[in-house]
Every structure is written in structure tokens, then in C-alpha cells.
Structure 1
Amino acid sequence: MAGGFRRLALSSFLLVGLGTAAHAAEPIKVKVFVGAMFEIGKNTGDRAGEFQNWYERYWQASEPIAVKGAPNPVHCNADGVCGAVLGMGKVSSSASMQAILLNPQFDLSQAYFIISGVAGTPPSRGTIGEVNWASWVVDYDLGHRWAPEENKAGEPTFMPRKGYEAVRLFQMNPALVNWAMKLTADTPLKDSDSAKAYRQRYPQEAARRAPFVGTGTHMTGDTFFHGPGMSEQAQYIAKLYGADDYVITEMEAAAITLVIKRSLGSDRVMSLRGAVNFDQGNPNETTLQHLDPKPGETAGGFAETVENVATVGARMTDHIVAHWDQWQAGVPAP
């Protein structure tokens, strides 16, 4: 009898232990995932890159979660907000995102994704310090491109290549973009004296504006293109594909969106960028001078812009988490 009791007790103990192990292995249910592209130094306490302001807001008390195939760990808080530094460029960032999506430690099936970082903007459309939600994301590279001197004057030097239609253009969920603007358009944004002075070098009204929250097409390319010719080409591609005006140049959003779309769909994907430079010089400088400015001749406003991005993105993040019963099943009606 005593032996039977011991066997019963041991069986119960094992069952409880197995249940605890199974519970411990349950994946983290992610509500919002924030993907930044780079950080400068540490995640906190030094000069901030794209991730630090997010980290200090949400993950100071978190334990890093290593993910095979991703160069940096994922951080999560108790509210289901997770984030990571994915790496710069289309290949690195999308490879990291794929590794995280496939990792069994996370349940991302109902997550909203914020692709967050800095960017450039044409002076005819934006300004230093602005924050922009993508209405469309376009891949800048999928086609044929040749030197202007090998073409008729004034004609485009880019031709789309057939077969890329499904991977070169993504419309962000209009209902989600509308929510983002509704919740963040009036966010107070920081500015800097150096950025204010730098803007005055440009004659365009948009370039001289104070920082604001807006929307438009984000152009994804691995090349840091500069100059009015390349800017015009980006606008040409955006219009050729039927997207909105090109307002942001960045390096990752199209690739990351494609990876998420193939696994989960793209209805919950957002691209959020802050402009830290113009995509061309002012009328008094050449493109090379703009690319390689003298000391003290840079745009300024970087620290303020990365903080602006996180401040705007946090408004969206906090609303989703606070009203998860309304957002869990999908983007709610306005």
C-alpha cells in the first residue's frame, strides 16, 4: 500500500512537473513588434540610435532573448511589446525578421509590426525632424537602370523588370494608416537649433517647415542615393507603380514587409521613419559637397529625430496595447 502511494505521488509530481515545463515553454504572445535597424553603442545611457529610445521606454527591465539567425536579441515586456535591432539593408534586416518569425519562442500571429528608423526626404516634400507613416512601400531596385549619358536627354534611366510585380510594391493597410495619423498627428515633436539653421539653406517651403507627422511613399533601396536626378527617379518610380508621392528614402521596409506578408499577411505592418537628411543638396552646393559636408555643415537634429520617431510610435503602440480587446482580431473600424 505504501509503495502504491509512493508511485501515485511520484506520478502526480511528474505530471505537475511536465505541466509546469509545458507552461514555461508557451510562446510569448506579441501584441506589437518594433524593428529598428541599428543602434549606436549600447541600448541605453549613451548616444541614441534607432533603438535606444524604444528600449528605454519599454525594455529596460527585460531579459534579452537570443534568436538563432538574428544578430541581436529580442526584448519583450509583460504587456506583449517586443523589439529588436534587425540590421541595416534589405538582406540583413529581412533575414533577421524571418528568423524571429520562425522562432517558436514568439507567437506573432496577431502582432502589429512597426518598422522604425531614420531616413532621408526630398526637400520638396519633407523636412529634418519630421516623422512619416508609409502609405506605400516601394522597392527602388527591381528593374533595369543605366547611366544618363547613355540615354536621350531628359528621359528616364530606369525600366521595371517583369516578374517583380508582387514584391516591389506594397500598400500599407489604409485603415491602419488612418488610425496612426488619428492617434499621432498632433504629437509634439522636438527640434534643434542646428536643424532650424540648416533648413534655411533650402528655398522649398516644405524643407523650411518645422517637424511634423505625415504620410507618403517610402522608397526602399540599398544605395544611399543623392542628388536631384536620383530624387526625380524615385518619384518617377513611385508614380509609375501607382503609389503616392515619394517622401522617404530608406533601406529596409519593402524587404521586411515582404517577409512578414508571406508568413502572416501585411495588414498589420507599419513603416515609421524620421527624416535626418535631405536627399539632395541646396542650390548652392553640388551633390558631392552634400555627400561629404565640411565639419559643422551637417543637417543636425539627429538626436531629436530618433526621439521623435519613438514618441510618435509609442502613441500607436500604447493605444493598441491598452485597447487590445478591440485590436486583437484586426484593425478596428474608426
Structure 2
Amino acid sequence: MSSVWSRRARWGALPAVVVLAAACTSVAPSRVAEPVKVKVFVAAMFEIGQNTGDRAGEFQHWYERYWKNAVPVTVPGALQPVYCNPDGVCGAVLGMGKVNSSSSMQAILTSPKFDFSKTYYVISGVAGTPPSRGTIGEVNWATWLVDYDLGHRWAPEENKAGEPTFMPRKGYEEYRRFKLNPELVGWAMKLSADTPLKDSDSARAYRLRYPQAAARRAPFVGTGTHMTGDTFFHGPGMSNQAQYIAKLYGADDYVITEMEAAAITLVIKRQYGTDRVMSLRGAVNFDQGNPRETTLQHLDPAPGETAGGFAETVQNIELVGSRVVDHIVADWPQWQAGVPPLPAR
């Protein structure tokens, strides 16, 4: 009898315990973390090895400046983690190519871990340049982003001699070109044009293979149209086609060939517009060979025949870009509502 009573007593006490636990749960404070308010987001496309301590790719110098002590934040759908510092500067490696990079950017922008409502973007990486307009080691801010791929193409032998072998495809007018905020480009140049840039003996020697005055210049900071294409095009014919497309779309001179910026910008535009987007590229190769080599020789150079200056260029990109990032963060009260007017000259 005592055994039955004992069981009933224990069962009878259970509801009180459950009620007490539920009450304690209902009054427990919420521990949901507030999203990081991102002031500047730096997007790189690849890193060669680790984020620090080895040969630097596009991300390492940024990482060492802003995120060496940061905890990586994993975002489902993004290629690599996002890093943030206490000042609201965040960054990540998005991946190479239009699909790879834009899908990472989309995942990061829609993550509840971040607040991008007032963010400025620096799309950063290495690139190529035509020898008539740029040089190895230069750093360039985009005025326009143009998609190289959205159109019709055919073989040159199937065309009249000297005529373009490209026709834009209708329906892509809002996707194929982006004019970046001229005020923001103006600020970028004002803050960074006089940045002392790194150079190397190997880059200097390589430039001398080209007769063009622009190709022989020392590294500098400039502006122009960045051409985004998944095709890694080479040769004077393809370079001329890129310039033709830039002019066809009403953009500035084509000066940089890269693989991601227009696609990433489209993702940002659909949610936040493009007024706060910057594209920053450093030239590590020419988009064509010198007069003494064929396009195939340039595309697949013999050992020791590649352009020098890669290590210096990825450092130059961060040296130039960080001037703008640091200024925006330091003067955040003036920048958070939008790009302030440029000071009168």
C-alpha cells in the first residue's frame, strides 16, 4: 500500500515542477545577438593559402590590417567566413567568377547576422589591363562596370574584315552596365591618388617589353571602366572588342579586365542600390602580348617569362583602399547618411 501511495505522491508533484520550469523559461532574458552594423564591407575573390603568414593573395593584406584578431562568422551559402572588427569593417573571400562571387555576396547580404543598411562596399582584387592604358602594379577605381558576356558573338572569319564580332543582347540593359557614384569615385581619388605604391625590378623589366608609354609607366592610381567577364580573354583583337563594348554602352575607356564586379554589384543593387559601391583593382598582367610574342605565347608563357609585380600589386591594392576605408570609418557621422559633397577645390 505504501508503495502505491509513494508512486501517486511523486506523480502528483510533477505538474508543479513543470509549471515552475515553464515559468522560469518564460522570464529568461533573450540572448539573441544584435546584427553587426557594417560600415564598410571589403570583398576579395581568392586567397592563395592562409589568411596570414604566407604568400599573400587578394585578402591577406586586408585581413592583417583589420581582422587579425577577429572571430570568423560562418554564413550558410557563402564560400568563406566573414570577419568583422569593432569599428564595423567587415570582409570576406567570395570566390572567383561571376556566379561564385555573387552567390556568396547574396548569402552574406541576406544573413541576419549583419546589418547592411548603411554599408559602403569595396570590391577588391587583381586584374589585367591593356598596355595602351595601364601598367603592372597600378591600382584603379572603377567609374563604370560593364558585363563583357551578355551579347552575341561569332568567329571573325564569319564577318566582314575589321567589323566587330559582338552585338548586345536585348533585355539586359539594366544588367550589363553600372555607372558608379561619381561623388564616391571622386572621394576615392582625392583620398588615395597620392598613395606611395610598391614596385619591383621584375615588373620594371617586364614593362620594357612593351612599346606603349602607358605600359612603361611606374605604378599609379587611376580610374576607368572595369570589364567583367568569365572569359579570361587575351590578345589585341579581344582587347579592342572590350573597348568597343565599353563605348557602345556609353561608358568610359576600358582600362581593367576582371571577373566579378558587375555581378556582385547587381546583387547589391537589388537590395541597397549602387550609390555606395566601389570597385578597386590592381593590374598584374597585360591583356595581350608584346609585339614580339603571339597571343598564345602570352597566354601560356615559358618559365621565367611571366609578369613580375604580383606581390607588390596586392599590397598596393590594400594601401590605396585602406585610405578610403579608414576615412569613412573615422568620419562616420558625416558618411552614414550618404556620400558627403566633395570639398571645393
Q: TM-score, normalised by structure 1?
A: 0.95
Equivalent in the alignment of 1:125: 133
How big is the shift at 1:13? 9.8
Match of 2:16 in 1: none
Separation in 1, partners of 2:190, 2:58: 24
Instruction: State the AA in 2 paired with 1:31.
Output: K
| Runs of 4+ displaced beyond 4 Å | 10-15
Tell me the equivalent position of 1:161.
Answer: 169
Partner SS state of residue 138, structure 1: strand
Q: List runs of 5+ in structure 2 lacking aligned partners.
A: 1-18
Match of 2:29 among 18, 31, 53: 18
What secondary structure is seen at the aligned counterpart in 2 of 1:18?
coil
Give yes or no for the alignment of 1:134 onto 2:142. Answer: yes
Match of 2:35 among 17, 27, 38: 27
RMSD over aligned Cα, in angstroms?
A: 1.5
Q: Identify the residue that residue 188 of structure 1 maps to in structure 2.
A: 196
Q: Distance in 1 between the 2:44 and 2:26 partners?
A: 43
Q: Deviation at 1:266? A: 0.6
Shift, 1:323, TM fit = 0.2
Q: What is the identity, as a one-letter code, of the residue corresponding to 2:228? A: T
Matching residue's letter, 2:310: F
CA distance in 2 between partners of 1:324 and 1:67 (Å): 26
Aligned to 2:250: 242
1:85 aligns with 2:96: no
Q: Does 1:113 align with 2:121?
A: yes
- Looking at structure 2, the residues matched to 18 and 169 of structure 1 have their Cα atoms a distance apart, in angstroms, of 49
Shift of 1:311: 0.7
1:202-229 Cα offsets, whole Å, 9 max, x none, are 0000000000000000000001100000
Q: What code does the residue aligned with 2:82 have?
A: V
Shift of 1:71: 1.5
SS at match of 2:281: strand
In the alignment, is residue 199 of structure 1 matched against residue 241 of structure 2?
Answer: no
User: What's the secondary structure of 2:245's corresponding residue?
Assistant: helix
Provide the rounded CA distance (Å) in 2 between the counterparts of 1:18 and 1:51: 39
CA distance in 2, matches of 1:198, 1:92: 32
Aligned counterpart for 2:70 among listed residues 56, 62, 70: 62
- Which has the larger Rg? 2
Aligned residues: 323
The percent of aligned pairs where both chains have the same amino acid is 79
Quote the residue 1:309 is aligned against: 317
Q: Could you report, residue by residue, the CA deviation over 1:148-167 in whole angstroms, capped at 9, with x for unpaired residues? A: 00000000000001100000
Cross-structure match for 2:274: 266
Provide the C-alpha distance between the structure 1 equivalents of 2:206 and 2:29, rounded to a whole number of angstroms. Answer: 63
Q: 1:226 aligns with which of 228, 234, 243?
A: 234
Letter in 1 for 2:74: A
Q: Give the match's secondary structure for 2:164.
A: coil
Secondary structure, aligned partner of 2:29: helix
Which amino acid is 2:29 matched to?
A: L
Q: Distance in 1 between matches of 2:57 and 2:155?
A: 35
